[in-house]
Amino acid sequence: MHTSAESSNPDEPAQSAPAEHPLVFVVEDEADIARLISHTLLSAGFSVQNFPDGRSLLSEAIRQAPALFLLDIMLPGDSGFVLCRQIRQTPSLAGASIIFLSAKVSEADKIYGLELGGDDYVTKPFSPRELVARVRSVLRVTRQQTPKEDEILTLGGIEINLSSMTVRVDGRNVLTTVREFRLLEYLATHRGRVLTRDQLLDGVWKETSFVTPRSVDVYIRRLREKIELNPRHPQYLKTLRGIGYRFELPR
């Protein structure tokens, strides 16, 4: 089932679905589940394109960038974990939201999905109402109001553009997911304050039920790998053992 428009020229930049009908790419090899997901999301006002595996996923996404990928993990060919890594390594897609769908319920699998760049993890079986709520929760982050004028936080060697949601470190562009950006923004705008994991969950994730205090550690680690010269000895994102984290300026 496919309700999204397609670009006639593969060399054109990726086009996004209209904001009122966000485009979701669903990668699910079980036909009945794929039909259920499509019906559920279409009824909720989303555009949907289905894929039984990941073979054409990236090429289609580059032609028309989806707002969100729903990735089953156990797929023929590349797994959902592999597809997630490929999406995050593709500059034009790196900022898209990703939700995993899986019958794998262990915390280790969920944490691994986060480490790869997932934004949420929905376990099977799931209710249609829950799925729509989780999709809306993840996409809501991307539609939070931003300043009308470019507002740039310059902190040491880091430039955080709150309007364009872009990050530069020592003059180079750094790709972040929307959730990573929101976490960095929250820490930077509260710089100097020690924030507990629960405070960060309330400030950045709010209604998302998937994340736990341990998940915050994963996101901090991901951010350190992107913005710190030496992630093992961070200059900006400091750990207060047993308490939480603090954004500091290098001395």
User: 201 lies in a domain?
Assistant: yes
Q: What is the mean pLDDT of residues 172-189?
A: 91
Q: Kindly report the CATH number assigned to the domain that includes residue 193.
A: 1.10.10.10
Of 142, 169, 192, at which residue does a domain stop?
A: 142
pLDDT (0 to 100) of residue 234: 96
Q: How many CB atoms lie within 10 A of CB 42?
A: 15
Is the same domain home to 62 and 136? yes
Which residues are 173's β-sheet partners?
168
pLDDT (0 to 100) of residue 13: 36
pLDDT digits (tens, 9 = 90+) for 220-245: 999 999 999 999 999 999 999 989 99
Per mean pLDDT, which range of 32-46, 140-154, 174-188 is the poorest? 140-154
- Enter the tokens of residue 233: 């000895």
pLDDT (0 to 100) of residue 194: 96
Q: How many CB atoms lie within 10 A of CB 149?
A: 7
Q: What is the mean pLDDT of residues 12-37?
A: 78
Residue 77 has pLDDT above 60, yes or no: yes
Q: By C-alpha distance, which of 211, 47, 62, 223 is closest to 141?
A: 211
Residue labelled with tokens 């999301």: 41
Is the same domain home to 137 and 165? no
CA-to-CA distance for 177 and 220, rounded, in angstroms? Answer: 13
Q: Which long-range contacts (CB under 8 A, 24 or more apart) does 178-182 make?
A: 178/95, 178/97, 178/119, 178/141, 178/142, 179/119, 179/141, 179/204, 179/205, 179/219, 180/219, 180/222, 180/223, 180/226, 182/141, 182/144
Of 142, 168, 202, at which residue does a domain stop?
A: 142
pLDDT (0 to 100) of residue 92: 87
Is the same domain home to 161 and 137? no
Residue labelled with tokens 């090899």: 29
The proportion of the chain whose per-residue pLDDT surpasses 90, expressed as a percent, equals 58
Q: What is the mean pLDDT of residues 76-82?
A: 95
Mutual angle of helices 107-116 and 213-227, in 10-degree steps: 30
* Residue 91 near residue 111 (C-beta atoms within 8 A): no
Average pLDDT along the chain: 85
User: 32 lies in a domain?
Assistant: yes
More reliable by pLDDT, 179 or 35: 35
pLDDT digits (tens, 9 = 90+) for 83-111: 999 999 898 888 889 999 998 888 888 88
- Residue 133, Ramachandran bin (φ over 0: left; ψ between -120 and 50: alpha; else beta): alpha
pLDDT digits (tens, 9 = 90+) for 53-63: 999 999 999 99
pLDDT digits (tens, 9 = 90+) for 126-175: 999 999 988 988 887 655 544 445 688 999 999 999 888 889 999 999 98
Domain interval for residue 41: 23-142
pLDDT (0 to 100) of residue 147: 46
User: How many domains, in total, are found in the chain?
Assistant: 2
pLDDT (0 to 100) of residue 149: 52
Give the containing element (helix H, strand E) for 174: strand 172-174
pLDDT (0 to 100) of residue 57: 96
Of 121, 142, 163, at which residue does a domain stop?
A: 142
Residue 177 has pLDDT above 50, yes or no: yes
Q: How many residues does the chain have?
A: 251
pLDDT digits (tens, 9 = 90+) for 192-202: 999 999 999 88
Is the same domain home to 37 and 128? yes
CA-to-CA distance for 155 and 190, rounded, in angstroms? Answer: 12
Output the CA–CA distances (angstroms, integers) from residue 62 to 55, 68, 71, 165, in the order listed: 13, 13, 17, 20
